[in-house]
A and B are shown apart, each in its own frame.
Chain A
Amino acid sequence: GQQLNQSPQSMFIQEGEDVSMNCTSSSIFNTWLWYKQDPGEGPVLLIALYKAGELTSNGRLTAQFGITRKDSFLNISASIPSDVGIYFCAVNNDMRFGAGTRLTVKP
């Protein structure tokens, strides 16, 4: 099946820094989604992208649907301690998730 390559695997940043992560695939998709999993909880949808080139924001979060339809990016600006968690990309064609980016924010 299609592979979703998510990077980086983990990030350790200082509070206030910006964060960037991405997800790539060799296949084309019509939908990219970004979820966040808080420790001990299930993933929660952050942003959904439905069109190539689309740029969508949700507060300090901004995600983009790559123009080739094979990738997506998630940026978090001015990180805060509650941003800690695992961020997953997903494509809804086959319920597949990326391996996740584990974010640690140091106060």
Chain B
Amino acid sequence: DSGVTQTPKHLITATGQRVTLRCSPRSGDLSVYWYQQSLDQGLQFLIQYYNGEERAKGNILERFSAQQFPDLHSELNLSSLELGDSALYFCASSGSGTANEKLFFGSGTQLSVL
């Protein structure tokens, strides 16, 4: 158990809809990262937050947004969903979010857009 909690584990929705994925980092970790993993694809970095502030942005679509709350949990919002958004979404956390730090991953949310 990595200590990173993601909910829900599975999500099935329709095109055009909006969903929210939730992540609770390991106790004491200040930084949260979001990744997308499509079928047979590697891990695509989406966005990083540190102590409530956005720190780095990767290949995140404009239809997607995220935030980190004062209690350090994070939410990833996906809107106007398309079939191609179907993927496994992972959250990871680390202590201070600085370079060279190890990431601890949650078990992921499997999103299916029908």
**Residues on A facing B (Cβ under 8 Å):** 30-31, 33, 40-45, 48, 50, 88, 90, 92-100
State which size class the interface on B falls in: 20 to 34
Q: Can you list 11 A-B pairs, Cβ within 8 angstroms, ordered by A?
A: A31-B100, A41-B107, A42-B2, A42-B107, A45-B102, A48-B102, A93-B99, A94-B45, A95-B103, A96-B45, A98-B42
Q: In the bound complex, do residue B42 and residue A33 qualify as a contact, i.e. CB atoms below 8 Å apart?
A: no
Q: Is there an interface contact between B43 and A88, defined as CB atoms closer than 8 Å? A: yes
Q: A33-B102, A40-B107, A42-B107 are in contact. List 11 more A-B contacts (CB 8 A).
A: A31-B100, A41-B108, A42-B90, A43-B43, A43-B105, A45-B103, A45-B104, A92-B101, A97-B35, A99-B41, A100-B43
- Pick the contact of B56: A30, A31, A94 (CB < 8 A): A94
**Given A41-B107, A44-B2, A100-B42, is A95 in contact with B102 using a C-beta cutoff of 8 Å?**
no
How many angstroms from the CA of A90 to the CA of B100 in the assembled complex?
Answer: 10
How far apart are A21's CB and chain B's nearest CB, in angstroms? 14
Bound Cα distance A98, B45 (Å): 11
A92 to B35, CA, bound (A): 14
CA A88 to CA B101, docked complex, whole Å: 16
The 8 A CB mask of B16-50 against A (1 = contact, 0 = none) is: 00000000000000000101000001110100100
